[in-house]
Structure 1
Amino acid sequence: MLSAAEWRPLAEAHAARVDAFVEPHLARRADQVKHPVHDFLFTYYSHRPAQLRRWHPGYGVALEDAVEHAGLKGYGPPSLVEEGAQRPSRDLVAVTEEYVASQRPLVGRLHALLVATAGRAPQFGCFGLHEWAMVHRSAEHGTRHDWPLRLGPEGTDAVVESHRVGCSHFDAFRFFTPTARPLNTLQPGRDDRADFEQPGCLHAGMDLYKHAFRLSPMIPSDLVADCFELARDIRVLDMRAAPYDLADLGFEPVRIETPEGKATYVEAQRGFAERGAPLRARLVTECERLLAVAAQNS
């Protein structure tokens, strides 16, 4: 159990931590200004800024005088106030065992995907070509962002067609243009992510944020924020290595069409895989804890 004096500073610190990212996004949104790099985590993923700012202690912690949590999905009176005592109280709220049990199918799916991903050797030979494949034959299909292509349409097409494209991540592959899809050596599908996902993939690293917020409020918000920060850093590399010319936004390109650019990309990709591994392990541990609770209450 955490008293109000204990948990409120934690909640304020969490909000201040993520506000460094949330506030600039909200300001851009108010001004109707789009940013192809920093807005991605707020527009592609379904977790709203207000949800990211909201602090949760995770299952197993009761909060005193937490009126703002009492009405949130998943919360209710705690089953146990202290060990051996059955004393539900109006001024104590916690994520309930019933809610955890109701989320068992989701937690089970995420656990299986995370374990399968962690069990594979990371692959570092994709060179970020997924973003290039999304604008292959742009003269026919258009582009995903309103920014010029660094090498122009024909130069971009030449990069895609002269490289081996081996994207293992379905949520990147599904945005390939029709002419680029057959060029991919893998054909990942919506329902077989666990058969393809591997820990060297930048998008698999970014998706740790998605897995974390889908487990909210059952897991601590610091883990969600850790995954968000990793995803934000990965997105920067993802777009620096993309075919777009983002120099006006201050992003120096990683020229993956050159040997030097490939080496730079792989080095950064290895670093993100190393950063993601302990976060993935923490999510696996949280899933296993929640599955044990769900099994006891099913």
Structure 2
Amino acid sequence: MTAAAPEHVGLVLVPDAMADDRAARHREHAARYTEPHRARRSAGIKHPVADFLFTYYALSPGKLERWHPGAGAVLTGAAAVERAAWKDHRSLDAAERDALGLSADEPAVTADVAGFLDRRSATVAFVRRLLGATASRPGQFGCFGLHEWAMVYRQDPDERRHEELPLRLSGEQTDAVVEAHRIRCSHIDAFRFFTPEATGRNELRPTRRTQPDLEQPGCLHATMDLYKWAFTLLPLVSSDLVLAALDLAADVREVDMRASPYDLSGHDLTPIRIETPAGKAEYVAAQRGFADRGAVLRRRLLAVLDRVTAA
């Protein structure tokens, strides 16, 4: 059981044994991603799906393995000593120690909510606005993952982002798929990789400034980005939430690439042939499932933001 502090303090003491157990379970979960990534990196092996989680997203394996209990949680003992020098953490003051029944000399550390909000106020405001706006919109499920196709449209093979991967179809057939479909990509971080020839085919012009106005919950990239927003808010959010978002991002990334124009048979991944009716149906079914999972995590992130920013 955790010991709740008086309401005006807003702190909860996490017993040492519980903290040790949760930290160990966190490291075990994170290792599913970090250990294979380190092994591939050491061997000089690239993986077009899994590497994305560390090359596109900026949380290092070491930082992913750090356990954070979230805003308001108080750690003591060795865990507190370790975290005392960590960024965005602080030691409890005398009044807080008294409220929790801690001695004056006992190490006790919690996330520095006020310091984080002061230092990163613009980021917090942007994330809150973006997540809230996205959650308020219905999902759109007619893109069929064509953003990946638009990234290679009429492109020289030597200039492709994944030059080591062959295309499933010929270059001419791949271009024909793009030309046969309506493209309405709403996500800036997909759109910015479109080839110049494909840019003009997109019905929207997403920018960083308009991101909160366009992002919608059916978008696979918006769903993957829940992982980015979760770790961006560390240590105010818990590592449990970060790993839940990472699990979802990993699943989405696999479907994203299976629906792409690339041949991933060398990585034991079967294609989702979005150029066919059956492939479109398979893609949309996965997309809807991801949107449902993403909605839960988006609500959890917004709840954390609401709690820590409440006056």
Partner of 1:51: 63
1:33 to 45, 65, 70: 45
- 1:69 is aligned to 83
| Contact persistence 1:78–1:89 (CA under 8 A) | no
**Residue in 2 that maps onto 1:22:** 34
8 A Cα contact 1:78 1:95, kept in partner: no
Question: Is the contact between residue 58 and residue 217 of structure 1 (CA under 8 Å) also seen in structure 2?
Answer: yes
CA 140–18 in structure 1, closer or farther in 2 if over 3 Å, else same:
closer
Residues 112-191 of structure 1: matches in 2 within 5 Å? 112-139=129-156, 142-145=159-162, 146-191=164-209
Seen in structure 2, the aligned counterparts of structure 1 residues 96 and 88 have a Cα distance that, compared at 3 Å, is: farther
Give the Cα separation in 2 of the matches to 1:98 and 1:77: 13
State the distance in 2 between where 1:180 and 1:162 align: 13
Q: How does 1:260-271 map to 2 (within 5 A)?
A: 260-271=278-289
- Give unpaired runs (5+ residues) of structure 2: 1-12
My pick for the range that moved more, 185-194 or 92-101, is 92-101
* Cα shift at 1:82: 5.5
Does the CA-based 8 Å contact 1:126-1:167 persist in structure 2? yes
Deviation at 1:192, TM superposition (A): 1.1
Q: CA deviation at 1:105?
A: 2.5
TM-score (norm 2): 0.91
Cα displacement (A) at 1:97: 3.7
Runs of 4+ in 1 over 2 A off after TM superposition: 81-90, 139-142
Match of 1:250 among 268, 279, 287: 268
Opposite residue 223 of structure 2, the aligned amino acid is G
Q: Would the alpha carbon gap of residues 97 and 241 (structure 1) be closer, same or farther in structure 2, given more than 3 Å must change?
A: closer
1:3 deviates by 2.8
SS in structure 2 at match of 1:81: helix
Number of residues of Structure 1 aligned to a counterpart in Structure 2: 293
SS for the counterpart of 1:179 is helix
- Report the residue type matching 2:123 in the other structure: L
Deviation string 1:52-81 (CA, Å, 9 cap, x unpaired) is 110001111110112221111011112423
Please tell me the residue identity of whatever aligns with 1:27: A
2:76 touches 2:106 (CA, 8 Å); kept in 1?
no
Q: Aligned pair 1:107/2:112, yes or no?
A: no
Q: AA paired with 2:90?
A: G
More RCO (CA 8 Å, sep 6+)? 1
Moved more, 139-148 or 219-228: 139-148
Q: 1:120 to 1:87 in 2, by over 3 A?
A: farther
Q: Quick one: which of 277, 282, 285 aligns to 2:295? A: 277
**Letter of the aligned partner of 1:168 in structure 2?**
S
Letter matched to residue 6 of structure 1? M
- Report the Cα offset of residue 21 of structure 1: 1.3
CA contact (8 A) 1:108 1:291 kept: no
Q: CA deviation at 1:84?
A: 7.8
Letter of the 2:136 counterpart:
G
Q: Return the letter of the residue paired with 1:130.
A: H
Residue 15 (structure 2) aligns with: 3
Query: What is the identity, as a one-letter code, of the residue corresponding to 2:20?
Result: R
CA distance in 2, matches of 1:235, 1:194: 22
197, 202, 211: which one aligns with 2:220? 202
- Return the offset for 1:4: 2.1
Extract unaligned runs of 5+ from structure 1: none
Instruction: State the 1:98 CA deviation.
Output: 3.1
- Secondary structure, aligned partner of 1:188: coil
Instruction: Give TM-score, length-normalised by structure 1.
Output: 0.94
Range with bigger deviation, 92-101 or 77-86: 77-86
Output the amino acid matched with 1:174: R
Give distance in 2, aligned partners of 1:143 and 1:43: 17
The answer for the alignment partner of 1:13 in structure 2 is 25
What is the CA deviation profile of residues 81-120 of structure 1, one whole-angstrom value per residue up to 9, with x for unaligned ones?
Answer: 3638797655111112432332333212111100000000
* Equivalent in the alignment of 2:7: none
RMSD: 1.6
